[in-house]
Amino acid sequence: MDSRADMKLKGKINIRFILLTLIAIGITMVLSVMVFYELFKKEIMKELVTYTHILSSKESLSELDTIGDRLTAGDGLRITVISSDGQAVYDNMADIAGMENHVNRPEIIQAFEKGYGEDVRQSETLKKSTFYYAVLLDSGEVLRVARESNSIWSIFASAVPVMLIIMVFLVGCAVFVTHYLTKSIVKPIEYMAKDIYHIDNIPAYKEIRPFIDTILKQHEDIMKNAQMRQEFTANVSHELKTPLTSISGYSELIESGMAEETDVQHFAAEIHRNSNRLLTLINDIIRLSELDVTESVPSMERVDLYSIVGMTADMLMINAKKHDVTLSVEGKSSIIMANKMMMEELVYNLTDNAIRYNKKNGSVQVLVYETEKNVVLKVKDTGIGIPDEHKELVFQRFYRVDKSRSKSTGGTGLGLAIVKHIVAKHNASIAIESKVGIGTEITVAFKK
């Protein structure tokens, strides 16, 4: 990661984190002031209710008068008595003559309706609110007790300095924490970009581990693939070189006139044989690279595996006779979803191998049968067998247990590699069982 992009990322994380902190603090403050104010309101109302009930038990206005004066001085309580027409008949703080009609005040309306009422109203200044509680007396008048107190705004205002101090402190904390947090998030990534192979030396957090593993795995695959291709290219060149050298040599002999009349035919036959070998090799190589390149699924159709086996056996019958091998087919019609051409190639390659790596008077049996879940192709021979240590390797390109035998029977070392590819493309499985000197059995199982 270049350092500018890195700074940008860190800055982004920082700003977002701080913003989040500010929003969180703001919301917390507003909510806590609101909750506090609600409690505060409740407490004041409770107090007003108590006073009102004490006062409502008093007999007369004159009695109220003495208490009222005392309360005004002590608790800042305003006591008003309102008659049923809304006119004030007593007030301990104001002159009742100059007071307006109270009939529209919410707490008075409620008191006349249901026996009690309450309200909170803004005073002239924003700082104060007045809390009212009123009860209907037996006399038909309403007794109202009021008290001025801090409004929600003044509580907010008084909370602001504390809020600011806390905010500054928390933002400081946030900056500090994000700095270390982003550093610990970004650091392993930076290290990784520089040198992914020594990531173990870096204190990476566990969440990043799968990411590292994936990259390492992909990297390894890429390297392996590259190496395989390189090996393949080297092998191909080497394989092509041998027949070409022969062709070149024989033709040169003929060209220079060094070959006797009787040799020419023999040389021509060698040239022919080697060119055929070249053709077979090139065909197999092309086929393999085709299978390699096309990652897509081949076009599939309903294919009768048994009829393909029958056709292939017919084709190879002469070959089998030439090797003194009996070839037999067993089974019944079995349909699979497959690419027909690839199936022909697969059956051909396996059967051809079973004939070529056989013994005189040996036999090859090709079976098609169904199990509960699979359609199975089995190619069984009584041939030379494959030693255990080579069993896994014969599917590799150009791998041959006995190179001269493979060559003398027209093998390229690519047949089983092609088979393996085809099996993979059909989601099938392949198994090989073999005993040296006794025979080989290759089983391909297709899903039904």
- Helix axis angle for 340-356 and 305-322, nearest 10°, is 30
Q: Does 440 bind ligand ADP (CB under 6 A)?
A: yes
Asked whether 39 and 111 are in contact (CB, 8 A), the reply is no
Site for ligand ADP in 195-224 (CB under 6 A): none
Question: Rounded to an integer, what distance in angstroms lies between the CA atom of residue 346 and that of residue 305?
Answer: 11
Smallest separation (angstroms) from ligand ADP to the CB of 353 = 3
**Identified binder of ligand ADP from the candidate list 415, 421, 422, 428, rule CB under 6 A:** 415
Q: Tell me: does residue 182 bind ligand ADP (CB under 6 A).
A: no
Picking from 145, 177, 122, 129, the residue whose alpha carbon sits closest to that of residue 56 is 145
320 touches ligand ADP by CB under 6 A: no
Q: Cα dist. 251→246, 266, 281 in Å?
A: 8, 11, 20
Q: What is the DSSP string of 377-405?
A: EEEEE-S----HHHHTGGGSTT--SSHHH
- Identify which of residues 188 and 362 has a Cβ nearer to ligand ADP in the complex: 362
Instruction: Please give the residues from 365 up to 384 whose contact with ligand ADP meets the rule CB under 6 A.
Output: 381, 383-384
Residue 416 CB, shortest distance to ligand ADP, in Å, is 3
- Contact yes or no for 29/163 (Cβ under 8 A): yes
User: For the stretch 176-195, what's the b/e string if a residue is b when 16 or more beta carbons lie within 10 angstroms of its beta carbon?
Assistant: eebeeebeebbebbebbeee
Identify which of residues 199 and 394 has a Cβ nearer to ligand ADP in the complex.
Answer: 394
With binding defined as CB under 6 A, does residue 141 bind ligand ADP? no
Distance CA 441, CA 434 (A): 6
Q: Which stretch binds ligand ADP (CB under 6 A): 26-34, 62-70, 251-259, 346-354?
A: 346-354
> Residue 122: how many CB atoms within 10 A of its CB?
13
Question: Does 316 help bind ligand ADP (rule: CB under 6 A)?
Answer: no
Tell which one of 178, 363, 412, 444 touches ligand ADP (CB under 6 A).
412
Contact region with ligand ADP (CB under 6 A), list: 29-37, 205-213, 254-262, 400-408: 400-408
CB 422 to ligand ADP: min, Å: 12
- By CB under 6 A, is residue 312 in contact with ligand ADP? no
Residue 274, interface with ligand ADP (CB under 6 A)? no
Decide: 152 and 37 in contact? Cβ < 8 Å.
yes
400 binds ligand ADP (CB under 6 A): yes
Q: Is 88 in the site for ligand ADP (CB under 6 A)?
A: no
Of 152, 288, 354, 366, the one binding ligand ADP (CB under 6 A) is 354
Residue 334 or 358: the one with the smaller Cβ distance to ligand ADP is 358
d(CA 425, CA 266): 44
Least CB distance from residue 286 to ligand ADP, whole Å?
A: 15
CB of 411 to ligand ADP, least distance (A): 3
Stretch that binds ligand ADP, among 51-59, 123-131, 138-146, 405-413 (CB under 6 A): 405-413
Q: Among 353, 386, 382, which residue's Cα sits nearest to residue 365? A: 382
- Contact flag: residue 353 with ligand ADP (CB under 6 A): yes
Q: How far is the CB of 237 from ligand ADP (least distance, A)?
A: 18
CA diameter of the chain: 157
Contacts for 144 with CB less than 8 Å, ≥ 6 apart: 52, 79, 80, 81, 82, 102, 107, 108, 111, 132, 133, 134
Rg (CA), the chain: 50
> Which residues, listed in sequence order, are joined to residue 145 by a DSSP beta bridge?
79, 133
Contacting residue, 192, 320, 386, 428, with ligand ADP by CB under 6 A: 386
User: For binding to ligand ADP (CB under 6 A), which residues are involved?
Assistant: 349, 353-354, 357, 381, 383-386, 394, 399-402, 406, 411-417, 440
